[in-house]
Structure formats: C-alpha cells, structure tokens
Amino acid sequence: GAPAELHPLLLEINRLFGRVRQSRDNEQRFTADAAHELRTPLAAIKTNLQVLQRARSADEREEFIAALGASVERATRLVNQLLALAQLDPQSQAETGLAPGDLAHLLAQQAAQWQALAASYRLSLSVNMAPAPCALHADSLQMLLRNLVENALRYTPAPGSVVVSCGVENGRSYVRVADTGPGIAEEWHERVFERFVRLGGAQLPGSGLGLSIVRRIAERHGAHIVLGEGLQGRGLAVTVMFP
C-alpha cells in the first residue's frame, strides 16, 4: 500500500535486511562450528594431563608429554586458522589493497623453506618459476601459498612428490600446487572449500579451514580456483588463476 515513489527505497531496505540476516547467520554458524572444533583438542589436552599425572615410569611420562605437545600444537594451529579467517572476513575490514607484483617473486622467497619442510616429510618438492605478473597483496598471497603447500605435504604419502609452479596460461597469470597424494573426488570439489569440512575417511588431524582461507584470499584478488589431476596421473593439482 505504499506510494509507488517509495518502492525503490523499500526494496533497498529489504535487501539491506537480507544482507544483515545472512551476516548474522554466518556469524552464528561460524561461532558454533569453531566451538565444536576446539572441543576436541582441548579434551585431548585434558586427558593427556590426567594420564601424565598417573605415569608410572620416565618412559611413560615422555610418551604422554609428546601426546600433550601434539594436542597443544593442534589447538594452536586451529586458533591461528580461525584468526586468519576472521581477518579475511569482508565484514571485518575494508578490501585488501592490491599492488602490481609477480607471483614468481613470492615463490622464490619461500622455496627453500618449503623444500626443507618437504624433506621432513620424506617428500621431494620442486619449484618451477616463470614470470607471472598480477595485482596482488603479498602477505595474504603468502598465506594462500603456505596453506596449499602444507596441505599437499601433509596428505601426500612418502615417498612422493610436490611441484609448485607459476607462469602465464591463456593470457592469465597462475600459481599451481600439484602432488602425488590421494586427490579429491570430483563430487567433493565444491564442498572442500567450506569451513570445517574435511574429507570422509581423512586420517590426519586438521582444522578443515585451509582451503576456506585459500578461497577467501583468491576471491579478494578476483582469482578463480581450479581443482584437477595432480602428478603422474594421480593426486591433486590446485590452480589459482588471476585476472
């Protein structure tokens, strides 16, 4: 029953209410999921402390201390991932400023560190760099690369291989991380980017936040993520194509 002149205003107000509702629902779901995920490592810490108090020998005590350290490490990683995701939330800050740069420069900065980490997993890691100019935010892209490389190393059985590369394809700069791991079934390709989603049957502990962070950073760069076959006819290749 409102005058026709008010219809555009009412439409915009309704859209605003819709965005506020969506933001609130996302926040509530994120808080509930985070609390649920934190419960597991905290319960493990409590259990390890209890059994540590009842240790009957030095060897037993060392074993429980190691398990306690692993639980603390898992909780720390989860908290760091949650903080990183919160910082990338478009509701929490203005858009990240992008500046001209080259993906090859970012890969060169981290290549030695990745290779040392790969050696600790008994894997081989190679870095193939070609010029890949694009508009970028260096700190957040380093976070994207770190998550992709660490995922590849953690889920690739030894002995195996990981290849990190960048260059230009069809006029677009890209960065790619490929491995000889178990890969991801096509029906999971979209779901793995959701918060706290982990593949069924995954044996390694994890937060399920790494690929959510990757997607959020890619979106802020206007980039597109493509999942495909990895190395030697198996595994996974994650390619981020920049505009």
The answer to the question of residue 109 being in a domain is yes
The answer to the question of residue 93 being in a domain is no
Give 3-state DSSP helix, strand, coil % of the chain, rounded to 5. 55, 20, 25
| Domain-terminating residue out of 88, 115, 134 | 88
pLDDT, tens digit (0-9, with 9 covering 90-100), for 38-76: 776 787 788 878 888 888 888 888 888 888 887 787 778
**Under 8 Å CB-to-CB from 207, ≥6 apart: which residues?**
37, 77, 78, 81, 82, 196
pLDDT value, residue 48: 79
60-64, 102-106, 144-148: least confidently modelled range:
60-64
**Taking the model in full, what pTM does it have?**
0.65
Decide if pLDDT at 201 tops 80. Answer: no
Could you tell me the pLDDT band of residue 130, with boundaries at 50, 70 and 90? very high
What is the rounded distance in angstroms from the CA atom of residue 77 to the CA atom of residue 92? 21
Q: How many domains does the chain have?
A: 2
The answer to the question of residue 135 being in a domain is yes
Question: Range of 83's domain?
Answer: 4-88
Say if residue 27 is in the same domain as residue 103.
Answer: no
Say if residue 81 is in the same domain as residue 46.
Answer: yes
The answer to the question of residue 152 being in a domain is yes
Look up the CATH number of the domain holding residue 231: 3.30.565.10
Judged by DSSP in three states, 190 sits in coil
Say if residue 157 is in the same domain as residue 196.
Answer: yes
Say if residue 28 is in the same domain as residue 132.
Answer: no
Beta strands 99-102 and 133-136 are: antiparallel
Nearest to 182 by CA among 147, 155, 149: 155
Q: What is the dihedral of CA 176, 179, 183, 186, to 10 degrees?
A: 20
Structure tokens that stand for 154 in this block: 């953690």
pLDDT value, residue 142: 86
Nearest to 225 by CA among 123, 151, 128: 151
Structure tokens that stand for 183 in this block: 């890969």
φ, ψ of residue 123 in degrees (nearest 5): -120, 155
Q: H-helix or E-strand containing 41?
A: helix 7-53
